[in-house]
Amino acid sequence: MAQLFFKYGAMNSGKSIEILKVAHNYQEQNKPVVLMTSGLDTRDGIGQIASRIGLKEAAVPIFEETDIFDVIKHLEFKPFCVLIDEAQFLKKEHVLALTKIVDELHIPVMAFGLKNDFRNELFEGSKYLLLYADKIEEMKTICWFCHKKAIMNLHYINGVPVYEGTQVQIGGNEAYYPVCRHHYFHPEIKENE
């Protein structure tokens, strides 16, 4: 039975490598999948899923106007699974389209993304995935500064923590640390680090 899965974690929890691993496992068995990612993430080019360890795959970019249900419904093949990276950037309409893919087309969907932003607010996509997903799983990583589980994302510019600003600020290790709650409020960052 098809289900909607939401796998979330802080920065550096291995979300992109996991989605690429899942895609590889399906493809190795000659079971086609559809890889999708947010069109907002341009770090490795539009329509690319890239892990920090260097693996990369082309993906269908999702923009605000993209009708994901229509894209999947009109494929020339029926995928065994739809895999979505950077799912936090989805809009409510996108998440509802994912539920239709599961419920009407009977295709499982696995969405991977952050739960909360650097201001510690839910992303729109994450909020609706938490509400509509059949299964929710946390992908864990450790705090940049200690041994505790990282549950937040600390944004910094020139070694200085940033807690305000526009929600969508694309970046990787050069701009974000995965941190525990204590180090979110009390980071061990030195100016010009």
Averaged pLDDT in 10-residue chunks for the chain of 193 residues: 96 92 96 93 78 85 96 96 96 98 98 94 96 97 95 87 72 77 85 43
Q: Which of the residues 86, 93, 164, 174 is marked catalytic?
A: 86
Asked whether the whole model's pTM tops 0.85, one would answer: yes
**Number of C-beta neighbours around residue 28 at 10 A:** 8
Candidates 163, 135, 179; CA nearest to 11 is 179
Per-residue model confidence (pLDDT) at position 144 = 93
Question: Whole-angstrom Cα distance, residue 109 to residue 76?
Answer: 18
Distance spanning both ends of the chain, measured CA to CA: 50
Per-residue model confidence (pLDDT) at position 50 = 82
> How many distinct helices (H) and strands (E) make up the chain?
5, 11
Interhelix angle for 124-132 vs 92-105, to 10°? 30
Per-residue model confidence (pLDDT) at position 191 = 46
Per-residue model confidence (pLDDT) at position 106 = 98
Active site residue 76: no
Per-residue model confidence (pLDDT) at position 193 = 42
Looking up tokens 């061990």, which residue turns up? 188
Per-residue model confidence (pLDDT) at position 8 = 97
What letter represents residue 62's amino acid? I
